[in-house]
Amino acid sequence: MSLAPPVHVTAGVAVTAHGLRKQYGTGEAAVVALDDVDVTFAAGRFTAIMGPSGSGKSTLMHCLAGLDRPTAGTVRIGDAELGRLDDRRLTLLRRDRVGFVFQRFNLLPALSTEENILLPLAIAGRRPEPGWFRQVVAAVGLADRLRHRPAELSGGQQQRVAVARALVTKPWVVFADEPTGNLDSRAGNEVLRLLREAVDTLGQTVVMVTHDPTAAAHADRVVFLADGRLVRDLAAPTAERVLDVLAHLDPGADRAGDAVPSHRGR
Ligand SMILES: Nc1ncnc2c1ncn2[C@@H]1O[C@H](COP(=O)(O)OP(=O)(O)OP(=O)(O)O)[C@@H](O)[C@H]1O
């Protein structure tokens, strides 16, 4: 597969979706999970996707990452339009150009930390760039855990292995799906700090789905979904402002929203 230089990445845009629609089922059982979503993710920025349960966050991320095909609309990662790629080329794009961090870490239990981190490169038959592997390992603080297997690591350490695995290919974008969902707040903070650092020091693009306003506050921007539509776009988020927006999207979150000062009208 030939992957031309990432025109859109160098132009400042890593991922774009236009007119994105996803419908599950047909007739009376039909569910419209995404309803005409247009969104652009700038290169070298950290964006969080939030919204009430069932609002379409996972569906959006799966369509953006080429893990699922939309019913209508287009997605571009770098200069590749995903709808124009057959399954094989899409698999290669995901392998070579996209990093993933999942809530459940998804490490291979029989492999060491080092082997897990290098797995995407091994599958692609690529060697790590000299120095890059060491730089990534140092960044995530795992230099003294390289021979350990996942079962010998804490949850936070396992997720740091997953972050290193996502960064090692120098992907155009890292998609993180609830990366702190299985971690206590300290370990979660550490993972968020790492993602933030990857953006600030490596120019990495990160798109993260989260339910946690504190996690979203690490991002440069938060986009909010409700009923499959993109309804708010918040720059320079704080946990309080995120809570405030959420409280007005989801009646179930009203109590949490009432607990913080309202920032409406500012
Ligand atoms: N495979 C599927 N078949 C049918 N409906 C689906 C399927 N996957 C998701 N849905 C529906 O699509 C809608 C959006 O789901 P999605 O998982 O994207 O929401 P979410 O915002 O990620 O929710 P949560 O925060 O609870 O994880 C929901 O109504 C869900 O029930």
Distance 71 CA to ligand 1 centre (A): 15
Nearest alpha-carbon partner for 232 in 18, 49, 63: 49
The Å distance, Cα 228 to ligand 1 centre, comes to 9
Query: Could you identify the atom of ligand 1 that is nearest to the CA of residue 56?
Result: 18
CATH superfamily of 43-62+86-256: P-loop containing nucleotide triphosphate hydrolases (3.40.50.300)
Distance 61 CA to ligand 1 centre (A): 11
Q: Which position has the higher pLDDT, 226 or 250?
A: 226
Kindly give the number of the ligand 1 atom that is closest to the alpha carbon of 178.
Answer: 27
pLDDT tens sequence across 177-190: 999 999 999 999 99
Q: Is 55 in the pocket of ligand 1 (CB under 6 A)?
A: yes
Cβ-contact 156, 187 below 8 angstroms: yes
Which of 227, 201, 222, 128 has the alpha carbon at shortest distance from 168? 128
Task: Work out whether the CA dihedral 145, 151, 154, 155 comes out positive or negative.
Answer: positive
57 Cα: distance to centroid of ligand 1 (angstroms): 8
In sequence order, the 6+-apart residues with CB closer than 8 A to the CB of 25 are: 31
- Which residue has the CA at smallest separation from atom 29 of ligand 1? 54
Q: Count Cβ atoms below 10 Å from residue 130 Cβ, excluding itself.
A: 7
Q: Which of 17, 41, 51, 12 is nearest to 216 (CA)?
A: 51
pLDDT of residue 150: 97
| d(C-alpha 144, C-alpha 241), whole Å | 39
33 lines ligand 1 (CB under 6 A): yes
pLDDT confidence tier of residue 11, bands split at 50, 70 and 90: low
User: Does residue 10 have a pLDDT over 80?
Assistant: no
For 47-80, the three-class secondary structure string (H helix, E strand, C coil) is EEEECCCCCCHHHHHHHHCCCCCCCEEEEEECCE
All structural domains of the chain with their residue ranges = 43-62+86-256
ipTM of the complex: 0.97
Residues with Cβ within 8 Å of residue 60, at least 6 apart in sequence: 17, 20, 34, 37, 39, 49, 209, 225
Beta bridge partners of 74: 18
pLDDT in tens, 242-257: 999 999 886 555 444 4
Answer for the pair 75, 259: CB distance below 8 angstroms, yes or no: no
pLDDT for 86-105, tens place per residue? 999 999 999 989 999 998 88
What is the per-residue pLDDT for 208?
97
Residue-wise pLDDT tens digits, 195-220: 999 999 889 999 999 999 999 999 99
pTM attached to this predicted model: 0.89
59 lines ligand 1 (CB under 6 A): yes
Q: Is the CB of 57 under 6 A from ligand 1?
A: yes
CB atoms under 10 Å from CB of 108, counted, come to 12
| 31 within ligand 1 shell (Cβ under 6 A) | yes
